[in-house]
């Protein structure tokens, strides 16, 4: 059985990638698409967090049948996602056979564009890649003679055979698309994902954060992938970035906003008994309602599992659902980002988002009162901490 492996950053995945997959399917029985978690060539703030890119790729692959499979294998590899390590991991414990659902022997091919031919010998341990796979190189219409020259050079250098396949000519590079999204070069589902989560905006608020905070944020995004489902994880990343946006507008530490935002729901999908236990330990009886457990439980998880020690960050996590009297600026930006992040689709949110950039307290009052209306409709009472917060903000309705 022939299985092609197609790895990349996919930031964003575009029709050039799709063309390669379509062409390779004519040669392969299956193709495994592998979005990178930590790309060796594109580090730091150049790339979007791994879960954005992974789930965007999952959506893009819905157009294919079950012969194209997206793998999250690189989320399980510590450190930089070098190709030779990814291939080794795929072959451990019959992972690849189980992923595809076969007991047949597998011949592996590493699918790539012709652009890698000139630099392949600079990759980390290229000989180990070629020990386990055969390079399968996409040939675009109009490739000049250097294409053949590059193949012959690598074949002679590594005493290997390189195979090629033809694809339709789609000129698209993720880097240029990040600068200016060209709708006709990305699928509708990818465009929808980008719009839902406000990706590739003109202002990248992560640029206001330190390298240390960015690195921690990216690592938390990968760690949370294993404990939060898709919708919740994407929500937490959206909250983190919107928290930074509000923090920048109000001269609040963007690093703390980023970390508090991404971890605010870290305990949300823990077992209910665990949430209850953690909540009682950290928050006591004030939070003894199941929908509130994850705030104080998140403090316990962030502190004891993720080694977060900053008290301001832990407090912002604890009170992101209820608010409290004496809220700090950090508390407010996380509270509001949780309610206003771009994937939230209530009709009245855009006006509050604009207000939040100018006046956090006014945005808090409006947001809490809107929530209060919903509780009244459900004949439910507002939490005492939230009422006290609202009163302190000068609203006694």
| Average pLDDT estimate for 215-235 | 97
pLDDT at 184: 62
Please choose, from the candidates 305, 323, 219, the residue with its C-alpha nearest in 3D space to the C-alpha of residue 262.
219
Q: Distance between alpha carbon 322 and the CA centroid of its chain, in Å?
A: 27
Closest among 85, 87, 5, 11 to 48, alpha carbons compared: 11
Cα angle 152, 158, 160; round to 5? 70
**Range with lowest mean pLDDT among 168-172, 297-301, 381-385:** 168-172
| pLDDT number for residue 4 | 98
Q: In the prediction, which pLDDT does 182 show?
A: 54
The pLDDT tens digits of the residues spanning 142-176 come to 787 788 899 999 999 999 999 999 998 766 555 55
Q: What is the pLDDT of residues 46-94, one digit of tens each?
A: 789 999 999 999 999 999 999 999 999 999 999 888 999 999 999 999 9
Rounded CA separation 115/117 (Å) = 6
Going edge to edge, which strands form the sheet with 30-35?
Answer: 68-70, 30-35, 2-8, 107-113, 134-139, 163-166
Centroid of chain to Cα 394? 38
**Average pLDDT, whole number, for the chain?**
92
Residue 170: its pLDDT value, please? 60
Output Rg (C-alpha) for the chain, integer angstroms.
24
Q: Contact, 260 vs 316, CB < 8 A? A: yes
Share of the chain above pLDDT 90, in %: 84
Beta pairing class for 68-70 and 2-8: unpaired
Structure-token pair, residue 153:
């050079």
Quote the pLDDT of residue 374.
85
Residue of higher predicted confidence among 395 and 160 = 160
| pLDDT-based confidence at residue 216 (cuts at 50, 70, 90) | very high
Instruction: State the Cα torsion 334-338-343-344 to the nearest 10°.
Output: -140
pLDDT of 44: 56
Asked if pLDDT for residue 42 goes beyond 80, the answer is no
User: Does an H or E element contain 375, and which?
Assistant: helix 360-377
Q: State phi, psi for 378 to the nearest 5 degrees.
A: -90, 5
CATH of 201-392, one of 1.10.10.1150, 3.90.1210.10, 1.10.3210.10, 2.60.40.10: 1.10.3210.10
Return the CATH superfamily for domain 2-192. HUPs (3.40.50.620)
The pLDDT assigned to 386 comes to 95
Has residue 116 got a pLDDT over 70?
yes
Given a cut of 60, is residue 378 above it in pLDDT?
A: yes
Give the pLDDT band of residue 384 (cuts 50, 70, 90). Answer: very high
- Residue 205 tokens, joined: 């608020």
Note the pLDDT of residue 45: 67
b/e burial code for range 320-345 (CB count within 10 A of at least 16 → b): bbbbbeebebbbbbbbbbbbbbbeee
Residues 6+ apart with CB under 8 A from 206: 45, 214, 217, 241, 244, 258
pLDDT at residue 251 greater than cutoff 90: yes
User: pLDDT at position 67, please?
Assistant: 97
- Look at residue 46 in the predicted model and tell me its pLDDT: 75
Confirm if 18 and 187 have CB atoms less than 8 A apart: yes
Considering only CA atoms, which of 156, 168, 266, 175 is closest in space to residue 220? 266
pLDDT of amino acid 380: 86
Q: Extract the tokens encoding 233.
A: 């994880």
Beta bridge partners of 81: 39
What residue spans define the domains of the chain? 2-192, 201-392
54, containing H or E segment = helix 50-60
Mind giving me the DSSP string for 46-93? GSPPHHHHHHHHHHHGGGS-TTEEE--GGGGS-SSB-HHHHHHHHHGG
144, 197, 231 from 192: Cα distances, Å: 36, 9, 15
Q: Pick 258 or 185 by higher pLDDT.
A: 258
Q: What is the structure's pLDDT at 394?
A: 85
* Nearest alpha-carbon partner for 336 in 238, 209, 221, 220: 238
What pLDDT, on the 0 to 100 scale, is given for residue 218? 95
User: CB of 284 within 8 A of CB of 292?
Assistant: no
Contact 382, 316 (CB under 8 A): no
């Amino acid at each position: 059985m022939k299985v092609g492996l197609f790895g990349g950053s996919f930031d964003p995945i575009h029709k050039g990638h799709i063309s390669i997959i379509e062409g390779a399917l004519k040669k392969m029985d299956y193709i495994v698409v592998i979005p990178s978690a930590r790309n060796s060539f594109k580090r730091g703030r150049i790339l979007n967090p791994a879960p954005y890119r992974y789930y965007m790729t999952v959506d893009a692959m819905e157009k294919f049948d079950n012969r194209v499979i997206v793998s999250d294998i690189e989320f399980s590899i510590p450190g930089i996602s070098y190709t030779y390590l990814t291939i080794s991991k795929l072959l451990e414990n019959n992972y690849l056979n189980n992923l595809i659902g076969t007991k047949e022997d597998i011949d592996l091919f590493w699918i790539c564009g012709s652009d890698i031919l000139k630099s392949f010998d600079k990759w980390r341990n290229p000989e180990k890649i070629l020990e386990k796979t055969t390079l399968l190189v996409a040939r675009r219409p109009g490739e000049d003679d250097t294409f053949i020259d590059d193949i012959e050079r690598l074949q002679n250098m590594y005493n290997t055979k390189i195979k090629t396949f033809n694809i339709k000519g789609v000129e698209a590079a993720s880097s240029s698309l990040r600068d200016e999204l060209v709708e006709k070069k990305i699928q509708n589902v990818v465009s929808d994902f980008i719009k839902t989560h406000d990706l590739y905006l003109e202002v990248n608020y992560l640029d206001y954060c330190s390298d240390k905070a960015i690195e921690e944020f990216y690592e938390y995004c990968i760690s949370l992938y294993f404990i939060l489902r898709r919708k919740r994880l994407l929500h937490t990343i959206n909250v983190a970035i919107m928290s930074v946006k509000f923090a920048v507008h109000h001269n609040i530490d963007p690093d703390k906003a980023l970390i508090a935002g991404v971890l605010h729901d870290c305990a949300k999908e823990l077992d209910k008994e665990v949430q209850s236990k953690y909540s009682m330990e950290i928050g006591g009886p004030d939070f003894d309602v199941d929908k509130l457990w994850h705030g104080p439980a998140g403090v316990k998880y962030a502190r004891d599992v993720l080694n977060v020690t900053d008290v301001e960050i832990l407090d912002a996590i604890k009170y992101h659902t209820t608010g409290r009297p004496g809220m700090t600026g950090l508390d407010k930006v996380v509270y509001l980002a949780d309610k206003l992040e771009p994937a939230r689709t209530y009709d009245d949110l855009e006006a509050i988002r604009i207000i939040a950039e100018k006046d956090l307290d006014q945005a808090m009052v409006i947001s809490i009162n809107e929530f209060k209306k919903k509780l009244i409709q459900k004949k439910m009472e507002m939490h005492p901490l939230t009422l006290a917060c609202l009163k302190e903000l000068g609203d006694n309705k």
